[in-house]
Homo-oligomer: A and B are copies of this chain.
Amino acid sequence: MSATIKDIAKRTGLGLATISSYLNGGNVREKNRVKIEEAIKELNFEVNEVARGLKTNRTKMIGIIIPEMNNTFFAEIITEAEDILRSHGYATMICDCRSDAKREKEAADFLFHRRVDGLIIMPTGPARISLERFVESGRPIVMIDRKRDEISCDCVLVDNDGAARDAVERLIHAGHRKIGMIEGPEDVYTTKERRRGYKTALENAGIIPEERLIVKGNYTIAGGAAAMRKLRNDNPDMTAVFVSNYEMTVGAMMEINDLGISVPEELSVIGFDNIDFAKAAVPRLSIVTQPTKEIAREAAAVLLQRLDERSGKTLSVPSAHPLDSSSGNSHNVKIIKLKTKFMEGRSIKKLEDPAAESGEK
């Protein structure tokens, strides 16, 4: 169907290599340049990326693996990443693994099989298992949002620890001392970091963190709802709650709604991530927000850089030491950590005379 460089060669009377070289930024006599350009226009020529890929062993495709497409936080990131990568000539293949390690592995295999040049992933399960083939073949991987130590690669994260600490400190400053937390699945990086921030804030204020005030919500809406119920049941004295991701925030609000709890009079709430939801909530929710576009930009930038670094080298150095750091995977791994923000709503009640001051001791 479409024209090939052969057609261009024929049309211009030039050789194949000349056309190819021109197409790849080589120098051609001005006269010929014009001729080639003309032929390209008239024949409506477009480089066949498939053929090029076969020859160069580069597909100009990037794989993206995320836990859930239907999740604003992830969606915002990948839409931005896709945009940037596409503008650099890279196509992206996005795989939603529904927070399932098995599906994640399948997606990784699929993408590897499809010979993507690189990978952006928010790891759900054990990274080693699904990603070692990429590492072995020298294809760059960028982890975002979550970090897994089994694989050494570039990471773009946010300061989860600081974000949680800041949020909880705000509650403390408002006079709260019995502060609940709804957290994610325990094996996830962000869960640990956010929990750490929560605890640090309490400890810094001289409050002893209590396990009964921390409930797992699994980063899902249903989990958030269930966690909220449990927190409320088990802790009648709880005056505030910090919900550590968006889905659980929605779930918690649903439950608060169902239980007829009034925010912030009976319970102060700090949620996570989705500005629109926070604004639509009654009352407006105070939330931690993450810089999604920046995450995407940083991830795309570092990936493109790696791709560029590698573009000279021949693909897939046999690599005698698959996952050993010896090969030079870990020497200069980039860990980028971005700052979160806090958006004030009306969901935090200022306790007038904190029991903490007078009654506690």
Contacts and interface: CB of A to CB of B under 8 A. Distances in A.
A56 to B, nearest CB: 10
Given A48-B54, A50-B59, A251-B280, 8 more contacts: A49-B113, A82-B95, A86-B110, A94-B94, A253-B280, A254-B279, A257-B280, A257-B283
Interface of A: 1, 46, 48-51, 53-54, 57, 59, 68-72, 75-76, 78-79, 82-83, 86, 91-96, 98, 107, 110, 113-115, 137, 221, 250-251, 253-254, 257, 276-277, 279-284, 315-316
- Nearest 8 pairs between A and B by C-beta? A1-B316, A69-B79, A254-B280, A70-B75, A79-B96, A253-B280, A50-B53, A254-B279
Given A49-B114, A49-B115, A82 B54 contact: no
Contact of A96 (B46, B82, B257, B315): B82
Contacts of A93: 91-93
Contacts of A95: 82, 86
A344 to B, nearest CB: 15
A33 B78 CA distance: 43
A345 to B, nearest CB: 11
Contact of A276 (B78, B91, B250): B250
B48 A115 contact: yes
A134 to B, nearest CB: 12
B115 A94 contact: no
B282 A282 contact: yes
Nearest to A94: B94
A54 to B, nearest CB: 5
B94 A82 contact: yes
Contact of A83 (B96, B114, B250): B96
A276 B221 contact: yes
B284 A257 contact: yes
Contacts of A91: 93, 110, 114
A346 to B, nearest CB: 10
B86 A79 contact: no
Contacts of A53: 50
19 contacts: A1-B57, A1-B137, A1-B316, A50-B59, A50-B115, A51-B54, A68-B79, A69-B75, A69-B82, A83-B96, A86-B110, A91-B93, A92-B94, A93-B93, A254-B276, A257-B280, A257-B283, A280-B281, A282-B282
A50 B54 contact: yes
A190 to B, nearest CB: 20
Contacts of A57: 1
Contacts of A221: 276
Contacts of A276: 221, 250, 254
A92 B82 CA distance: 13
A253 B285 CA distance: 14
